[in-house]
Amino acid sequence: MNNNVNTNESSIISYSHFIDNLNNDAVTIRLKSLRRLRNLIDKGETSEPERGNDVNNHIHTTYSFSPYSPAKSVWMAYTSGLITAGIMDHDSIGGAEEFIEAGRIMNIPTTIGVECRADFSSTPLNGRRINNPDQSSIAYVTLHGIPHTKIDVVRKYFVPYTNERNKRNRLMVERINNLFAPFNIKQDFDNDVVPISKFHDGGSITERHILYSLALKLMEKFGKGENLTDFLKNKLHIKLKVNLENYLMDATNPFYEYDLLGVLKSDLISSIYIDAKKECPDIKEFIEFSNSIGAISAYAYLGDVADSVTGDKKTQKFEDEYIEELFDILKELGFNAVTYMPSRNTRVQLKRVKALCEKHGLFQISGEDINSPRQSFVCKAMRDEEFNNLIDSTWALIGHEKAATKNLEDAMFSKKTIEKYLNLNDRIAIYKNKHNTKI
């Protein structure tokens, strides 16, 4: 975390109180606290953070899994010096309206989206490892720039999928309980997992929630430090990386449960994972839905992983070995865009992806995948001039969202718009200039 705002002594107490309340259970209190913080800034009692040209279109919130509510996410984006912020929760648009309002309060342009897993079984990618570490034929995809008039439509669209996901979540909790029965450790889905989610407010429950709940159980039983670390290494036979072992040996580590979660997700998920099927829309249906609501459909490029940025992925090969075929398929399916994260990949990978996007006329979107307090909201790799196009595309994305909210026919990838501006670069330039318009 990086709160750069300076405070004078008279406002320290109220400032801390408002910060704490950004993660309050009530959305009204979260937004009220954000307004009070904005007021402190406007009065000059706290200073504005330094700003550069940093953007982020992939911020997870508590409506999927994150340490940050939508309001807290916007505050973190603001204090980190971002000039734009984008919400991207798994299978949920529940935090979007709060995120939009928080952006208005802090005067940060926002964009809203949803990430989900889609089924590619009906495509030539059937049976292949795509961008999902846990399962073949299933890939992560995103909806970007969702028109605000379609928030309720998106909410309803994901309800049956989240219900199916929870059936599988319950089965995975059972697997964990069977695995940990010899150690007298047991979770209850309704009493341990659901309460740490925003499910009853329209959020989703992910594997991270389940493993975070398990992390809390392990900390309760073994405490922090040597006993827990020994259990992981000698009973669960997990080979801890040096930096992670150091984190877990430090009982004063403020991010302890998140570091433990990362270890569990990286090394335990294969033992408890159950293949997702019914909770994953068919990719052709997903793209059809995206087109119907005027959103921008994007494939989430992962690429072969060496050392995971988030610390929760093993070294593994993904779509790189057949990437040209992949892009042919993405174009044929009707994807509008590819989203990628420069800090995650090598320059060779990024140059190849960028070139393939340009070859196939695919819009390029980027953002730092935020779901842990150790992660920076700023992707410093995007400061390379090589990726200036990702800054331009962010403003175009925001311009699209505003235009499509007013009139779906004015969406960036509508039939009308494409006929008027066939060249994608022309469209990006046009929509980049629309970001200043009001919704």
* pLDDT, tens only, 343-355: 889 999 999 999 9
- Whether the pLDDT of residue 37 is over 60: the answer is yes
Question: 111-136 b/e with 16+ CB inside 10 Å = b?
Answer: bbbbbbbbbbeebebeebbbbbbbbe
Going from the C-alpha of 159 to that of each of 61, 63, 298, the distances in angstroms are 18, 14, 21
Q: Are strands 85-90 and 363-366 parallel, antiparallel or unpaired?
A: unpaired
Three-state DSSP class for residue 372: coil
pLDDT in the model for residue 8: 53
pLDDT in the model for residue 1: 41
Amino acid at 13: I
Residues 89-118 have pLDDT tens digits of 999 999 999 999 999 999 999 999 999 999
What letter does residue 366 receive in the DSSP assignment?
Answer: E
pLDDT band at 6 (very low <50, low <70, confident <90, very high): low
pLDDT band at 437 (very low <50, low <70, confident <90, very high): confident
- The answer to which of 54-58, 217-221, 432-436 has the lowest mean pLDDT is 432-436
Give me the percent of the chain exceeding a pLDDT of 90: 86
Residue with the larger pLDDT of the pair 423 and 367: 423
DSSP labels for 136-159? SSEEEEEEES--GGGHHHHHHHHH
Alpha helices in 181-268 (DSSP H): 207-222, 226-230, 242-249, 256-267
- Whether the pLDDT of residue 11 is over 60: the answer is no
pLDDT in the model for residue 316: 83
For residue 99, the Cα-to-chain-centroid distance in whole angstroms is 13
Measure the CA–CA gap between 68 and 371, rounded to whole angstroms. 8
pLDDT band at 231 (very low <50, low <70, confident <90, very high): very high
pLDDT in the model for residue 309: 47
CATH of domain 1-165+281-439: 3.20.20.140
Average pLDDT, the chain: 93
Residues 358-400 have pLDDT tens digits of 999 999 999 888 999 999 999 998 999 989 999 999 999 999 9
Residue with the larger pLDDT of the pair 12 and 224: 224
Query: Taking the domains of the chain in order of start, what are their residue ranges?
Result: 1-165+281-439
As given in the structure block, the two tokens for residue 221 are 């039983």
- The answer to which of 199-208, 231-240, 380-389 has the lowest mean pLDDT is 380-389
pLDDT in the model for residue 434: 82
- Whether the pLDDT of residue 149 is over 80: the answer is yes
Give me the percent of the chain exceeding a pLDDT of 70: 95
pLDDT in the model for residue 308: 47
- Whether the pLDDT of residue 311 is over 60: the answer is no
First to last CA, the chain: 31
pLDDT in the model for residue 13: 66
Residue with the larger pLDDT of the pair 317 and 191: 191
pLDDT in the model for residue 159: 97
The kind and range of the H/E element at 404 are helix 388-406
Contact 96, 87 (CB under 8 A): yes
pLDDT in the model for residue 10: 52
Tell me what the mean pLDDT of segment 256-266 comes to.
Answer: 96
For residue 153, the Cα-to-chain-centroid distance in whole angstroms is 20
pLDDT band at 286 (very low <50, low <70, confident <90, very high): very high
pLDDT in the model for residue 21: 97
- Whether the pLDDT of residue 45 is over 90: the answer is no
